[in-house]
A and B are shown apart, each in its own frame.
Chain A
Amino acid sequence: MTLWLMAGLLFTPLAWAVLTLLTDFARGRLVTWGGILVQVLVSLGLWLTVARDGGFYYGLGGWDAPLGIELRVDGLAVTFVLLTAVVASACGWHAGIYIDPDKPWHRYFWPLFWFLWSGLNAVWLGDDLFNLYVGLELISLSAVGLVALGGKASALRASLRYLLAALLGSLAYLLGVALMYGQFGTLSIAGIASWLTEHPVPAGSGLALALMIAGLALKTALFPLHQWLPPAHGIAKSPVSALLSALVVKASFYIAARLWLELGEPLGNLVSAQLVGLLGSAAVVWGSWLACRQLQLKQVVAYSSVAQIGYLFLLFPLTYSVSESVSLQAQQGITLQVISHALAKAAMFLAAGNLILSVGSSRVDALAGVSRFLPFSLFSFGLAGVSLMSLPPSGGFAAKWLLLQASLESGQWWWVLVLLVGGLLSAAYVFRIFRASFLESPESDQFYHPARSLEVIPMILALLALGLGLVSEQVLSVMALPFEVEGSP
């Protein structure tokens, strides 16, 4: 059973990528919707299997490491696989209706979409540094392609900037991988970690880790390396922006987090941990501030991503030389933040796309009166905003609560200020949109009403983000599952 699920999970995206390459947009849409169904069922099945039986290692094609590719199928990984399935299928569904099928270059949307999906799964499940790199490159290249589909000159410019940043990040990461391999003779993260428990730390391996994390931070758009993100996420088609903000930046963060959690204790130091946390805090403040000042609706949402990504990097100081329970709280909080931000931000970009479609302009001040004509999409936007503001009962709130507890218990009270101020700043940019749309304008009959299904999709995602807080205990308990089957590290 598990074998079939794994095969389905890994095989479908690649097969569908090839299939859709052969068709035009409209037929690709039908093919894709079928593939989405398969992929969601497989992801759900795998999640249920792991929730019941615990995690395991999976040798691809029956070849175990170090010869073959080994995948690490644990609670956290399958949760992210499921999250990807939910968000990507929502975006795929939305894109099928939202994107104009008559533009010839739009037929490349589906293959890129599927390559992106397979790259994401490869990263969640990957266990050695080089496979993670391959997954990461697959993601970056298809994401750049998706941004370029915007078609306009500005979209091309943004995608080129994105490409340069992504390549630079990959280069730094790859250099780090090479250094690691030279020093430890293995690419498995678990292998390096277990080697380090028995031997003294070799000189220079800290540098390798720093290089890798710096490269990944560039790909995750950590302040001050964030400049490429807002133009790329702001100019892309709404479903693409949703995919990028919700999932793509999380992939590189996920690798950085795993590196840190396995190797941070021996290779890192207190100063660098605090420094990363500080950069994250600066991202929270600076990103929110800029989000408050943007004139374009989607730029507001994109800068909000810069801010929300900042919270993720609090993982570094909150897990370095602290007690076991604090570290666990921080990890749980960050995981919830990843999930709730993915759901909420996807909802927000899709809802923003609907609002833009409705008023025919992407400017914030063009929204006047939209609350009367598109209340449903605006409401989805607001519910997603509740999660971004980390107000209860959303997943964002549960995440913030755990991070507050971790900061207070480890005596690092300065992150408490960041968490509280960040929440208020995000309220400022979310309510700015509401302020604009509650304004009653005299001329108000030029609204276009988008299709009902376009409006339903962001609502579903926003409700998931909101409800996550209520079931966060259950979700987290699946991630905390121990490995039942011992793998070969």
Chain B
Amino acid sequence: MRDNLNLIPLSRFIFHSTHIAYYRGVCLRPACDPSKFVSEAVKSIPSSGIRRFFDLVSGLEDVVSLGVGEPDFITPWHIREMCIHSLEKGQTSYTSNYGLPELREELTRTYYRRYGLDYNPASEILITTGVSEALDIAIRAVVNPGDEVIVVQPSYVAYVPSVILAGGKPIIVSTHRDDDFSLTAEALKPAITSKTKAIVLNFPNNPTGAIMQEEGMEDIADLVVENDLFVISDEVYECLTYEGTHIPFSSLEGMKDRTVMLNGFSKAYAMTGLRLGFAMGAPDIIHSMMMIHQYCMLCAPITAQVGAIEALRNGKGEMERMVREYDRRRHFIIKGFNGIGLECCNPKGAFYAFPYIGDMGLSSSDFAERLLNEKKVVTIPGDVFGEAGEGFLRCAYAASLDDIKKAIERMGDFVDNLKQ
């Protein structure tokens, strides 16, 4: 109807007021620019360079991607089959806000078995729609406007925006190649002020693959107590630890009530699209998170929750098989990168290699963009994960061995060309 109005002479309109016109009794309200309604908080979120990559990649053929942040495995069949069965049975209702009791009980058993951690399924566990949601509500549950939250970088891209959206002030602490990107208490100390409320940790780390060493963790725990801080620990890559063993921050003496552990099924059980995560912490914290969760999410999708129960009960074998496969690719890609002259720390967890390209005369994003355009290899520039990531590339080895081989070969050519 509106399209046709262009053809109608203006004189045919009867103006009722300066803003609203009527034509034959039909109200015609003026167009507006909706961008003016966008909140200042959203506008203040730093935009990520990654969006550009989506556009650059689309349309290119014969692309080899090391740019993914998810397993290249399909969710193990027994888990999918259980999801399908639950749908066939008609299990499509809401669940408790906290999540299915069986799932929470299974998590309690799992974490007791793995680490001797004892979380009460009734009050200390919340099932969320992915770790992304858990992160958002954990930060909103503890941050007051003006609170400072320490974010350790390079790290997953969501922490800083989540802090900003909650009205907090992100304070960046960097980890470095010389320390294998692990965090030290000395690095944390200068960033702590009287306004510091919490620290966001992410180990095993996306994008560096770094894990935390036990000695370093104890020092950090001391610092947390001395400064009366809270810890938000994103441990979604927990099960993907290849050297040493994963130590949940909450398992350190005195840390259980000061820490909310965020975790999920995406990486360990290749369930990214099912969107299922969980948070474990003190009842006050979990309850506060649930207060937000009940209004913004109500509950996590029931199909995914059913799949997660199956994953915890019977998924260990398949998960370990996938972990061994990643481990082999890890060895392969590190050797490959070192072989073509890209120096690379040994990543002990997650599924990312983080080679250094800072001595090639290009910024991370220029390097990644040229690599994509000239050699059709997708990598993620390290600065996407914070300034400390400048000079590095994130290369996911959650790709087939054939793709990894192809990528290394093409990157070798690219590096040779650069050096000439």
A binds B: no
Binding site for B on A (CB under 8 A): none
Binding site for A on B (CB under 8 A): none
